[in-house]
Structure 1
């Protein structure tokens, strides 16, 4: 697959040939779904917790006689039905993460890249850098390129001025190539790769 390379000014900068085993796969939604679920569950903190019956600071003394009170027979006020008692079947601190084989995770990234290429939402740029961290100027360039909702992937090192200028623009994400992931690719309309990022990805899957 051949794709035109552009610049931030909208000028042509040649073309590149994309590898079919990375950008030309027949997209499988089931693999993408498994990877999205894996990432979202792994990102959950799992720190939710309530006080159970054994955690409540109340006396365990039997507060009513077993017989003769005319009411139910209770043991202590830690029971869930009493105000201030322990919560029954409440959430506990735990990890929500699930297992997913490394090969499936790598395959999911290939399918996400292929999905963007197949939909015509993959853009290759020569480089992303600015002389000064000016958000207004960069927003104007993005408007001309029609990048209203985009994930921009650069090489291993981000241009500091570009990253500073882009971080205040809504619906624009900038990541180094080692931070590329399926969820961020799918949540943005366009995927913008620099030539350095493209070379790093193809070397990664070689």
Structure 2
């Protein structure tokens, strides 16, 4: 699959051949759903439990007489009705660390990239280097390129520092290195922007 390469100023700069093994996979909703669910579940922290009657460190001694005291016959201070006692029917600990095979994760990423390529929502740039790394200049360049409201930009080994600073104040623009590419972020943006370096890194990631 051939895609035109553009400069950050919107000018044509040749083309690049995208691997069909990475950008030409037929997307499947069930695979994408499994990977996105796995990502979002693993973002959740462990639900903290409350301390129930057996978890509270209080005396277990019977503090009153069985009869004649004028009070109920409680056995210890751990009962939920006392201040400092255990919680009755409290929240239990819940872990959200689910597992997913590496093959499914890799397949999901290929399908996410392919879905953007098939819908013409993928743009390949020569590089992210800017002579004048300012937000105003970058916004003007984005308008020339005709990007949507939500843009995900993926660079190679690391993101160009000038571009990162210039894009920091742009709402809806997120920037990642190639190693951080993931299914949720790709699907959650209207336009996927890859540098030539990012294309090489992603293809090398799946080719061994």
How does the TM-score come out when normalised to structure 2?
0.86
Question: 1:175–1:57: structure 2 CA closer, same or farther, 3 Å change rule?
Answer: same
Q: 5 Å matches for 1:142-153?
A: 142-147=142-147, 148-153=149-154
Q: Verify the 8 A CA contact 1:52 1:90 in the aligned structure 2.
A: no
- Match of 2:61? 61
RMSD: 2.3
- Match of 1:5? 5
How many aligned residue pairs are there? 205
CA distance in 2, matches of 1:68, 1:199: 85
- Match of 1:183? 184
Question: 1:52–1:177: structure 2 CA closer, same or farther, 3 Å change rule?
Answer: same
Q: Verify the 8 A CA contact 1:22 1:205 in the aligned structure 2.
A: yes
- Match of 1:200? 201
- Match of 2:121? 121
**Shift of the alpha carbon at 1:53?**
2.2
CA distance in 2, matches of 1:110, 1:200: 13
Question: 1:205–1:59: structure 2 CA closer, same or farther, 3 Å change rule?
Answer: same
Q: Verify the 8 A CA contact 2:50 2:90 in the aligned structure 1.
A: no
Question: 1:73–1:145: structure 2 CA closer, same or farther, 3 Å change rule?
Answer: farther
**Shift of the alpha carbon at 1:47?**
5.6
How does the TM-score come out when normalised to structure 1?
0.87
Q: Which runs of 5+ in 2 are unaligned?
A: none
Report the 3-state secondary structure (helix = DSSP H, G, I; strand = E; otherwise coil) of the residue aligned with 2:35.
helix
Question: 1:190–1:68: structure 2 CA closer, same or farther, 3 Å change rule?
Answer: farther
Q: Which runs of 5+ in 1 are unaligned?
A: none
- Match of 1:21? 21
